[in-house]
Amino acid sequence: MHQSVCKMKTAHGSKYLAQMCRYFGQTRPVAFDSCSGMISFPFGSCQLSSETDSLSLCVSGDDLTKLEQLIASHLERFAFLENLQVTWQVCAPVMTRTGGSQTASHTQKDL
């Protein structure tokens, strides 16, 4: 599974998180509160996290391009007054050994 992240400066992160989750919640499984959310798709998922001055997104799945475009297009539409630009950074997989087998996890620096 692959992963991309994005962090944007905005004073309205909680508002956009709720809008995204309510919108996709009409047709997809979602869970959210004022600070975090999760949207599930058949081809992956999106985790959202808001802070006082930012909104962070993390998409993971087999079709990153599709997830990135889907989430970015909706968020940019919801935040049109701020003209937010969603810029994704693909996380590099890191191989770790656990109990004799290798597993892959992802890391992202400078978030």
d(CA 56, CA 51) in angstroms, rounded, equals 8
Q: What is the pTM of this model?
A: 0.80
- 3-class SS at 29? coil
Structure tokens at 81: 């007054």
- Confidence band for 109, pLDDT divided at 50, 70 and 90: very low
DSSP-assigned letters across all residues of 71-110: HHHHHHHHTTTTT-----EEPEEEEEEETTEEEEEEE-S-
Average pLDDT of the segment spanning 66-95: 88
- Confidence band for 106, pLDDT divided at 50, 70 and 90: very low
pLDDT in tens, 6-39: 999 999 999 999 999 999 999 999 999 999 999 9
Q: Which pLDDT does position 108 carry in this prediction?
A: 45
**How many other CB atoms sit within 10 Å of the CB of residue 18?**
19
